[in-house]
Structure 1
Amino acid sequence: MKTKTGRYSGYIRPFSCLLDLITINVLSAYISGIPIFENFYAFFMTLSWFVIALQLGFYEVYRYTKVISILNCALKQAFLFTVSCLALAFYYTQDLSFNRVLFFSISSITLILIFKLFIYFFLRKFRLLFKGNFRRVLLIGRQKNIEPLQHFFEDNPDYGYELVKIFNLDSNKSEKLKEFFLFVNDNRIDEIYCSLVDLTTKEINEFIYFADNNLKTLKFIPDEKRLLSLNANFEYYDTIPVIPQRVISLDDPINKIGKRIFDIVFSLFIIVGIMSWLIPIIAFWIKMESKGPIFFKQIRKGLNNEEFVCYKFRSMKINKTADINQVSKNDPRITKVGKFIRKTSIDELPQFFNVLLGDMSVVGPRPHMVSHSNMYAERIDKFMVRHFIVPGITGLAQTKGYRGEVEKDEDIINRVKFDIYYIENWSLFLDLKIIFQTVVNIISGDEKAY
């Protein structure tokens, strides 16, 4: 069931569409150089905008939608709309000013995005300052299963959820369920959140029946394992609905091509702009301190669990345990120059050659040495999910503090959790955010960088 809108929420999307319509046509009249009323040019241009928006879900923005999702969708919208504008302009006039049409499309999407983000943040401030546009919600389930969502509602009032009451099913379950239904009927409740694992099939059906017949929005909270492994997207085989276990954003050919283009451009920039002059300096420093090669090569597991050669600047003395024992704090194997390049992550720079070769990506789950991959695959649930996509030089888990040495099982479990989130929620803007945060961590210093 779709969430009901608030008192004025139903007017937000039509107003946004109208604002975009005016913006596109006004800017076209003054910038594109093509008369907007000539041969239905304005009609087809506007039509292309809304057809693209409909396909991409450009206007599907909810109170829980993240800014990064809005920006990612806007980027796709901008690219496709620009192509459409160029095609239409070329059709209407052979004397096409490429720069004018390009400037028009970029100006349009920029202004529209500014309006869109203004509305988004205005509503968040409106909820905080005036206590409006709120949805009254109930939580029901065992405390340990509903607690994360409880904290979310309590800690993020700008999302517009008012947690009215919690029904804890740790004891007196049957009485609590009866009390729950009576409470909903006697109070103005908009949304109901139930812990799926704490209800029987019969009870779930009762909740669905109650919500449907009382016009309440009902949402189920899966247990942690299902939360990590299931995106509730329906696919239809003829008329039979099927729920895939996991949706991987990079299975989309457009996303895959876009990420690969970004990887090539970014890695070439680093290799030509930084490594071209840095390699001789680091090489001289490494050779001066210890005997051995400049680069350290190690077999690691990548996409589809296939092995590849991963490159790094050598940071340790030559030893027989490099492919077995993970580096630990104050490890005697690390050289003086090694300590510096590991602390600053300079030792990872040769992996941009791996990116160029296609074995790695700039951002993705960090690859492990073969011995550790085999060990974690046996011990850690869902560890192998990380191998559904190309591994990265940096990743979401690393920016969240789970880089370097794995000191306890909790470290690798959380690393897997963040990696799975990244796999299922990838976007170009998420990659840029991770890269930015990685640079910030390097500059500020990471306590696990050793």
Structure 2
Amino acid sequence: MKTYRQGRYSKYLRPISYAIDLGIINGLALLLFFENVNSFLFVSLVSLTWIILSLYSKFYDVYRFTREVTIMAMLFKQTLLFTLIVFAYFGFRHNLNINTDLILMYIGLVFLLITIAKFAIYYLLQKYRSSFGGNLRKTVIIGKNRQTNALETFFKHNPEYGYSLKRIFNLKDKSQGSLDDCLLYIKENTIDEIYCSITELSNTQILQVVNFADNNLKILKFLPDNKEIYSKKLKYEYYDFIPILSLRDIPLEESVNQFFKRLFDIVFSIFIIVSILSWLTPILAIIIKLESKGPVFFKQSRNGFNYKEFQCLKFRSMMPNTDANLYQATKGDQRITKVGKFIRKTSIDELPQFYNVLFGDMSVVGPRPHMVSHTHMYAKRIDKFMVRHFVKPGITGLAQVSGFRGEVETDKDIINRVKFDIFYIENWSTLLDLKIVFQTLLNAVKGEDKAY
């Protein structure tokens, strides 16, 4: 017998969000344009357009586990589409003589106020769940292993997400009952979501759980098995009617994403070169030359996109030496000059790499390139190290702002660096780039222990 689904969605949140956003859009429109436009026509058209665009862009598909950076991406996408519609409307109704600056101000205010409203709801709900225990989703976990232990820890340490873990069923322990006992518990205690470890269940048991979830309107989610293949960001495609899973989906393989990434690189690098390097370079050149003989810039071969070598530029921070292309700088390294200590600590020595970015060898954000000798070594020793070369290397990267910059003291350092780099490659977005750049600036101001 089928039952009603319990607490899957809070049915009032989405209508409330629509009402707030439409109130902002139409309220501002009437405030700014009411003397020039037919208010009924404009409100009807704008409201209908906003709803259609939001359905297309999935603007209101924000869940308790949605990240802030994802919400910002949704806001930018929705605002961009809405901007095109608004300009199209006033372009068609050019007889209204609406000033372009007024339209831009309207769109800017819409974006600002809707952003505030959206994040206010998001954080208020988190506070409501963590402090008052409301809007909770009751869950159970079927299986006991490393993945389920990690999920249990997540549920317990992140109350703001609103998951209330009621019980864990270890089916390998016969004293805890069978799968039938587990399903009975779920039904009797009105559990909302079921999390299953694939490796803990046979194909027959998985089918049994799926049928139970369908017939009792329960949300069913699976944890990847110990082979970790399902922990990858797999791309699901169809060849005719044949389902195909691609191992790795790389956003920067899309031409549109490449365009915006390159545009960001060019604009940002030109800004740094004109506003900082134009006056800083001659000053540093004099200081570097006064302290030690040798070139102002240090060039080093590094591996970039598709493993192609390029000459990476830096301000010289060491005494000229034959080991520069073989050994990384270490703490207390005697090769580092006095000015070198300062520019390395503040990452100023990396600034000439913006020329590499402008020339197309590097990107502002991406996996940090290693010297060629180290790349060859790590490629043999570290699993998946070569994945980093699917994209251009960066001046800064997710690994660097996550605490894995500078000297590689143990294999654990480079392994963690590779993990963060692969995550970046598989989850790239312009907002993620901006977040990394901002965090890099903060770290440069605060100083980092491994910046030597």
Q: Fold-level match, TM-score > 0.5?
A: yes
- The answer to whether the 8 A contact 2:170-2:176 is kept is no
Q: Indicate the residue corresponding to 1:185 in structure 2.
A: 187
Cα RMSD for the two superposed structures: 2.4
Secondary structure of 2:256's aligned partner: helix
Pairing of 1:37-186 with structure 2 (within 5 A): 37=38, 40-94=41-95, 95-168=97-170, 171-172=173-174, 175=177, 177-186=179-188
- The answer to whether the 8 A contact 2:7-2:192 is kept is no
25-34 or 307-316, which moves further after superposition?
25-34
1:338 matched to 2:340? The reply is yes
Pairing of 1:309-348 with structure 2 (within 5 A): 309-348=311-350
190-199 or 125-134, which moves further after superposition?
190-199
Seq. identity, %: 53
Q: Indicate the residue corresponding to 1:231 in structure 2.
A: 233
228-237 or 403-412, which moves further after superposition?
228-237
Structure 1 residue 428: deviation in Å?
2.2
- The answer to whether the 8 A contact 1:383-1:416 is kept is yes
Structure 1 residue 96: deviation in Å?
4.2
Structure 1 residue 101: deviation in Å?
0.9
Aligned residue pairs total: 447
- The answer to whether the 8 A contact 1:7-1:133 is kept is no
Match of 1:215 among 204, 214, 217: 217
Structure 1 residue 178: deviation in Å?
4.8
Q: Indicate the residue corresponding to 1:423 in structure 2.
A: 425
Secondary structure of 1:236's aligned partner: strand
C-alpha distance in structure 2 between counterparts of 1:116 and 1:416, whole Å? 34
Query: For residues 287 and 170 of structure 1, do their structure 2 counterparts lie closer, same or farther at Cα, with a shift above 3 Å needed?
Result: farther
The amino acid of 1:124's aligned partner reads Q
For residues 95-140 of structure 1, the C-alpha deviation after alignment (integer angstroms, 9 at most, x for no partner) is: 3411111111111122122211111111111112321110111123
- The answer to whether the 8 A contact 2:315-2:352 is kept is yes
Match of 2:290 among 283, 288, 291: 288
Secondary structure of 1:24's aligned partner: helix
C-alpha distance in structure 2 between counterparts of 1:258 and 1:228, whole Å? 30
Query: For residues 78 and 172 of structure 1, do their structure 2 counterparts lie closer, same or farther at Cα, with a shift above 3 Å needed?
Result: same
- Runs of 4+ in structure 1 over 6 Å off: none
Match of 2:353 among 341, 351, 354: 351
Structure 1 residue 59: deviation in Å?
1.0
Match of 2:280 among 274, 278, 281: 278
C-alpha distance in structure 2 between counterparts of 1:197 and 1:191, whole Å? 19
Secondary structure of 2:387's aligned partner: helix
Q: Indicate the residue corresponding to 1:9 in structure 2.
A: 10
357-366 or 216-225, which moves further after superposition?
216-225
- The answer to whether the 8 A contact 1:229-1:245 is kept is no
- The answer to whether the 8 A contact 1:193-1:218 is kept is yes
Query: For residues 103 and 199 of structure 1, do their structure 2 counterparts lie closer, same or farther at Cα, with a shift above 3 Å needed?
Result: same
C-alpha distance in structure 2 between counterparts of 1:232 and 1:134, whole Å? 30
The amino acid of 2:383's aligned partner reads D
Secondary structure of 1:9's aligned partner: coil
C-alpha distance in structure 1 between counterparts of 2:218 and 2:9, whole Å? 18
The amino acid of 1:97's aligned partner reads N
For residues 175-226 of structure 1, the C-alpha deviation after alignment (integer angstroms, 9 at most, x for no partner) is: 5545433432332211111222333333333322232233221111124763
18-27 or 392-401, which moves further after superposition?
18-27
Secondary structure of 1:446's aligned partner: coil
Q: Indicate the residue corresponding to 2:384 in structure 1.
A: 382
Structure 1 residue 311: deviation in Å?
0.7
For residues 227-272 of structure 1, the C-alpha deviation after alignment (integer angstroms, 9 at most, x for no partner) is: 7862255323333333322222323333332222222222122111
- The answer to whether the 8 A contact 1:317-1:335 is kept is yes
Q: Indicate the residue corresponding to 1:25 in structure 2.
A: 26
User: TM-score under structure 2 normalisation?
Assistant: 0.91
Query: For residues 201 and 384 of structure 1, do their structure 2 counterparts lie closer, same or farther at Cα, with a shift above 3 Å needed?
Result: farther
Query: For residues 38 and 215 of structure 1, do their structure 2 counterparts lie closer, same or farther at Cα, with a shift above 3 Å needed?
Result: closer
Secondary structure of 2:364's aligned partner: strand
Secondary structure of 2:12's aligned partner: helix
User: TM-score under structure 1 normalisation?
Assistant: 0.92
349-358 or 230-239, which moves further after superposition?
230-239
The amino acid of 1:50's aligned partner reads I
Unaligned runs of 5+ in 1: none
Query: For residues 5 and 241 of structure 1, do their structure 2 counterparts lie closer, same or farther at Cα, with a shift above 3 Å needed?
Result: farther
Q: Indicate the residue corresponding to 1:435 in structure 2.
A: 437
C-alpha distance in structure 1 between counterparts of 2:424 and 2:199, whole Å? 25
Secondary structure of 2:11's aligned partner: helix
Unaligned runs of 5+ in 2: none
